[in-house]
Amino acid sequence: MRVMLLWPGSPECYPTVARAAAMLTISPCCRRSAGRRNARRAAVAHAGRRHARRAALAVPATATLAVTL
């Protein structure tokens, strides 16, 4: 039976460190597919456009309300 000594800072003590070390050995193109990256970027851009459109519609509505009063 083999005994592994663990010390503070060893990858076995910190699973995220071990995962990060494993990710360094994998090429960047395999880490995250381009489809996922592009889908996230598109979703963020769509949310920004939706917010801008809502803000653009809100200004004339409040201006019209202020003029009628």
**pLDDT of 1-16, one tens digit each?**
455 565 565 556 555 6
- The Cα–Cα gap between 36 and 58 comes to 33
Q: Write down the pTM of the prediction.
A: 0.24
Residue 4's contacts (CB-CB under 8 Å, 6 or more residues apart) are: 12
Query: Any idea what the Cα angle at residue 51 is, between residues 49 and 56, rounded to 5°?
Result: 95
32-68: pLDDT as tens digits: 566 666 777 777 776 666 656 665 555 555 555 555 5
